[in-house]
Each structure stands twice: as C-alpha cells, then as structure tokens.
Amino acid sequence: ITQALNLHKGLLSALWRLPTEVLSQIFCHCLPEFDDLSPPSQLKAPMFLTQICQSWREVAVDMPNLW
C-alpha cells in the first residue's frame, strides 16, 4: 500500500508541475465537442476543470475558447 501511495503522489506532483501551455492543450482535448445546438449540460464541462484546484481554475478561466 505504501508503494502504491508513493507512486500515486509522484504522478500527482508531476501533474501539478505542468506548464500552463501544456495544461491548456490538455483541457482543450478533454472537453467534448459541441456546437451552438448542443444541450446546456455540455457547457458544464469547463466548470468541472475550475473545481479541481486554484491553479487549474486560473488556467481554465483564462482560456476564452473554453467558454
């Protein structure tokens, strides 16, 4: 269990160190494709990104193409 926990922590710490540009690209690729006729529920996807942590929120909010 300790080894798995340490591996998990290592993976997470690497994720937090991603440059803003890389994180922005990941956000763009993770979101569902939608158009003007898409149901409003798909518009919630960017909101989920803003709820992960403060740094993700800052990146997502600063990306006009998500909104």
* HEC secondary structure over 3-26: HHHHHHHHHHHHHHCCCHHHHHHH
Which is higher by pLDDT, 15 or 1? 1
Question: Number of folded domains in the chain?
Answer: 1
Q: Which two tokens stand for residue 29?
A: 């690729």
State residue 22's pLDDT score.
Answer: 93
Reported as a single tens digit per residue, the pLDDT across 2-36 is 877 766 666 666 666 789 999 999 998 877 766 65
Asked, for residue 31, whether it belongs to a domain, the answer is yes
The whole-model pTM stands at 0.63
Asked, for residue 25, whether it belongs to a domain, the answer is yes
Among left, alpha and beta (phi > 0; psi -120 to 50; other), residue 32 is beta
Q: Which residues contact 22 (CB under 8 A, 6 or more apart)?
A: none
d(CA 25, CA 23): 5
Asked, for residue 58, whether it belongs to a domain, the answer is yes
Asked, for residue 52, whether it belongs to a domain, the answer is yes
Range of the domain at 27: 19-66
State residue 20's pLDDT score.
Answer: 92
Asked, for residue 32, whether it belongs to a domain, the answer is yes
